[in-house]
Amino acid sequence: MDVVIYHNPDCGTSRNTLALIRNAGLEPHIVEYLKTPPTRARIVDLVKRMGVSLRHVIREKGTPFAELGLADPSLSDDALLAAIERHPILLNRPIVVTSRGVRLCRPSEEVIDLLPPQLGAFVKEDGERIVDESGRRAASA
C-alpha cells in the first residue's frame, strides 16, 4: 500500500502518526510540508478528498492565524489558500493519504482506519496505549 504523510517532525501528533504507519509495516513517502509545501491545487485536492471544508485543515495554534485575521468567516477559500501558500505552517498536520482515503490525523490514531492491521503494540510518546500486543485498538483508544 502506498502511503503519503504530510509531516512536521517537530509535531508530536505527526511523529505518532508516522510511527503508527510504520507499526503497520509500511514505509510512507514523507512530505515535510514546511520544507516542500504542497501546491494550491494539491491542497484543494486533499480537502476535496477528505470531504471537509478548507477551514477544517487550517491550524490556529502556533501560527499567524489570528494576526492575519483568518477567523473572519467572510474570507473566501482563495484568500485562505493564499494565506496557506505564504505561511505553510497554517496547514494542519499530519494529513495522510492511502488507497483507503485521505484524513487529517488528529488525534494520531485516526490513521489506523487508513492502514492494514497494526503489527503489534503501540504507545504514543505521551505514554497513552493505542494498540495492544495483538495489533488491536487498546480499550482506551
Q: Which three cell numbers stand for residue 72?
A: 473572519
Question: What residues are labeled active site?
Answer: 11
Q: Which three cell numbers stand for residue 61?
A: 495554534
DSSP run (H or E) holding 29: strand 29-32
Query: Among residues 37, 60, 139, 38, which one has the least CA distance to residue 106?
Result: 60
Q: Which three cell numbers stand for residue 111?
A: 490513521
